[in-house]
Structure 1
Amino acid sequence: MRLTKFGHACVRVETERATVVIDPGAFTEEDALRGADAVLITHEHFDHFVEDRLRAAAEADPGLRIWTNGSVARQLTGLGSRVKVVGEGDAFEVNGLDVSVHGEWHAVIHPDIPRVGNIGFLLDGRLFHPGDALTLPPQPVETLLLPLAAPWARVADLIDYVREAAPRRALAVHEAVLSEAGQAVHGRLIGGTSGVEFGQPKPGEQLDLDGAVA
């Protein structure tokens, strides 16, 4: 399994038979979707989901399939059965890659700001992308994708989340709202305190999830 980091919350995960892209939003390079078998969308916010871009990718590739929650699916009318609605406890596969779904709600930004639905995706029992929530994976995982910075996130809560999830390693995503200096500060705090191996891959960087940076 190989992971490629794209802009902000987006990653591309490749196995021998499947290529899956998670959360290609407005801060994501447009070529992230090229050649994908499936796209997984955690929630409807613009930094995770751009309707026009996803529709264009679907029109260009009739085999592209999309799994997401109900609120995103309602914005993708016209794509028919290619869009699959999933929620907490569901499971499916993409060309032999097992995926399960966990979580229901986006983290609270402020009581006056309505919450939206949010689901996390566990791939092959090894890699967990929580979207914009601190949802615990249902089992210990090798790799946890950690939202590094968001309007709803405190560093203290992120450290506690990583400690409780106790993955083999955590990799930062969702960092576009921070300057390079801010990313470095957050990384030092989390990496030095969480107690697990912590990495901050740059856009375009590839990581072999068995350990070696490509």
Structure 2
Amino acid sequence: MENMLVTRFGHAAVLVETEDARVLLDPGVFSVDEVFELERLDAIVVTHQHPDHLDRSRADALLARNRGALLLADPQTVEQLGAPWRAHRDGDRATFGSTTIAAVGELHAEIAPQLPRVSNVGVLVRSETGPTIFHPGDSYATVPADVDVLALPLSAPWAKVSETIAFAQQVAPAIAFPIHDRTISDAAYDIYWNHVANFGGVADLRRLGQTEATQV
């Protein structure tokens, strides 16, 4: 099943490389500078409008380096950004050869009852000959079938550890790696990671660092 290369670029930013496409997900303010220097991207996908998933101050340089890339985002983000961004709604698909980008979900998880919930559209990257990778953005609400690799949000203002564990169990991937973890101090990281490792039910957990790659 080893047909994709997955590289983390800090917090929620993930580059997925298949035989046919280079797909970048959620380059936000907690992402390392290197992600905004990437070239030859076929698609840039943003799950929602929050700055830790899209750094608008650094995104212009990234877009300038990748003028031919397909730009996909949730509907509310596209309303703010305008063209050439294209709205990506639950059920939508984009195809690059044998690679498909599919949109799943609609809403960001609740942070506090007083705050309006923005749109959040998770992403499935599928390959006909390889695995299916799921990046949920900021929500545990949608659990797609047949996910091989899960980018698991490890900590957030909208989540607690029991929900993170339950989400990992429900998705039941063969492989999982952490995202959304720059909100955790180095001293406390093991607390979150060990709970997922002990109770999440994922056999192959890969504790990828902020600029680390893995073959899946």
Q: Do the two structures share a fold, i.e. TM-score over 0.5?
A: yes
Unaligned runs of 5+ residues in structure 2 are none
Contact 2:9 2:34 in 1 (8 A): no
Question: Normalised by the size of structure 1, how large is the TM-score?
Answer: 0.91
Task: Give the deviation of 1:140 after TM superposition.
Answer: 1.9
Task: Give the deviation of 1:89 after TM superposition.
Answer: 1.1
Query: Segments of 4+ in structure 1 off by > 3 A?
Result: none
Report which structure shows greater RCO (CA 8 Å, sep ≥6): 2
Amino acid at match of 2:26: D
Contact 2:122 2:134 in 1 (8 A): yes
Task: Give the deviation of 1:196 after TM superposition.
Answer: 1.1
**How high is the sequence identity, in percent, across the aligned residues?**
33
Unaligned runs of 5+ residues in structure 1 are 210-214
Distance 1:173 1:99 in 2: 19
Q: Superposition pairs for residues 162-181 of structure 1, below 5 Å?
A: 162-181=168-187
Distance 1:150 1:183 in 2: 13
Question: Normalised by the size of structure 2, how large is the TM-score?
Answer: 0.90
- Structure-2 residue corresponding to 1:212: none
Task: Give the deviation of 1:73 after TM superposition.
Answer: 1.2
Amino acid at match of 1:107: A
Task: Render the CA deviation track for 1:81-137: whole Å, top value 9, x for unaligned.
Answer: x32111111111245420111100000011001111000000106100000000333
Contact 2:107 2:121 in 1 (8 A): yes
Contact 1:93 1:99 in 2 (8 A): yes
Select between 35-44 and 47-56 the one with higher mean Cα deviation: 47-56
Residue 75, structure 1, aligned to residue 80, structure 2: yes
Task: Render the CA deviation track for 1:51-84: whole Å, top value 9, x for unaligned.
Answer: 232222223332122111121112323xx3x321
- Structure-1 residue corresponding to 2:99: 97
Contact 1:136 1:165 in 2 (8 A): no
- Structure-2 residue corresponding to 1:9: 12
Distance 1:61 1:163 in 2: 37
Residue 208, structure 1, aligned to residue 215, structure 2: yes
Task: Give the deviation of 1:183 after TM superposition.
Answer: 1.5
Amino acid at match of 2:18: T
Residue 26, structure 1, aligned to residue 41, structure 2: no
SS in 2 for 1:54: helix
Distance 1:55 1:26 in 2: 13
Residue 139, structure 1, aligned to residue 145, structure 2: yes
User: How large is the Cα RMSD of the aligned pairs?
Assistant: 1.5
Distance 2:24 2:68 in 1: 14
Distance 2:149 2:66 in 1: 30
Question: How many residues align structurally?
Answer: 206
Distance 1:121 1:4 in 2: 16
Distance 1:56 1:95 in 2: 27
Q: Superposition pairs for residues 13-162 of structure 1, below 5 Å?
A: 13-33=16-36, 34-35=38-39, 36-77=41-82, 80=83, 82-94=84-96, 96-124=98-126, 126-162=132-168
